[in-house]
Amino acid sequence: MNNKKVALVTGASSGFGQLSAQLLAQKGYLVFGTSRKEHSAISGVEMLILDVKSDSSVQSCIKQLLAQTNRIDLLVNNAGQIHASMLEETSLEQAKEIFETNFWGVVRVTNAVLPIMRQQRSGHIINMSSVAGLIGAPGQGFYSASKFSLEGYSEALSVELDPFNIKVSLIEPGYFKTNFNSAMLQPTLTYADYDNVRDVIRSSVQKAIAQGDNPEKVAQTIVSVAQSQSPQLRYRVGNEAQWLPRLKAILPDKLFRFGARKRLNLP
């Protein structure tokens, strides 16, 4: 029987997911990565098909994993969806789609994995949050709201799972250069009052990611958190993740909001 630790990394076809899955494989984990599309194994990572928005897809992915191994030691809930649109210009349908991936997707996969981890009386769940889960991000409001939800869910979950020796951690990156821009959802509604800010918002979010930090840093953090004997609940990675929450904590609200508008060139 293979005694390697088993890891499942969602959204491993690119970005943080791909890098961390590969790094975990290098560190000796038996790694299963996922994508919505068919992929052959990538650098020691076996790829499974998974759409976190679908109950049946989640069930079938876990079933396939368990057909090859009888345990799951690490779950990295990394799959995510971004948008660049003002809140009012984002249809409710699109907002729900963002939550289906970023929040309910995490809940779905976690619920499918927990019975296995509870039976083992061990495991670690690492949820990919964002600095936007700590600060309401204009132009990415529903993304931000989904990550705030993930923060609250993970914090509560970590306490509930303590008796079963299952750890929960949150990774809170600032902006990093991945393929995240390519799947960015655009506004579905338009109101003339936002004509002067719509493009500014989109290009500022795109620029922040395109000029972001090296995603290897996030992958290395994920791996060191996974290997930690006593992991913390929260890990901030990257510049914005360090200084933005501190600024928010010390600045008067009015000044912080002025800064946020300035940064996005909003009137």
Ligand X SMILES: NC(=O)c1ccc[n+]([C@@H]2O[C@H](COP(=O)([O-])OP(=O)(O)OC[C@H]3O[C@@H](n4cnc5c(N)ncnc54)[C@H](OP(=O)(O)O)[C@@H]3O)[C@@H](O)[C@H]2O)c1
Binding residues (CB under 6 A) for ligand X: these are 10-17, 35-37, 50-53, 78-81, 101, 105, 128, 130, 173, 175-176, 178-180, 183, 209, 212
Examine the residue annotation and report whether 154 is marked as an active-site residue of this protein. Answer: no
Q: Which amino acid is at 174?
A: G
Q: Do strands 234-237 and 6-9 pair parallel, antiparallel, or not at all (unpaired)?
A: unpaired
Examine the residue annotation and report whether 217 is marked as an active-site residue of this protein. Answer: no
Residue 121 or 207: the one with the smaller Cβ distance to ligand X is 207
Least Å from the CB of residue 35 to ligand X: 3
Examine the residue annotation and report whether 153 is marked as an active-site residue of this protein. Answer: no
Residue 39 or 118: the one with the smaller Cβ distance to ligand X is 39
Taking phi over 0 as left and psi of -120 to 50 as alpha, with beta for the rest, 44 belongs to left
Least Å from the CB of residue 190 to ligand X: 25
Q: Answer yes or no: are the C-beta atoms of 134 and 177 closer than 8 Å.
A: no
Examine the residue annotation and report whether 147 is marked as an active-site residue of this protein. Answer: yes
* Candidates 57, 147, 167, 169; catalytic one: 147
Half-sphere exposure of 85 (CA within 13 A, CB side): 20
Query: CA–CA separation, 202 vs 208, rounded Å?
Result: 10
Residue 39 or 257: the one with the smaller Cβ distance to ligand X is 39
Residue 53 or 217: the one with the smaller Cβ distance to ligand X is 53
Closest residue by Cα to residue 198 from 212, 187, 206: 187
* Candidates 20, 129, 149, 204; catalytic one: 129
- Residue keyed to tokens 């649109």: 85
* Candidates 5, 29, 35, 143; catalytic one: 143
Pull the structure tokens for residue 245: 């929450």
Task: Cite the active site residues.
Answer: 13, 129, 143, 147
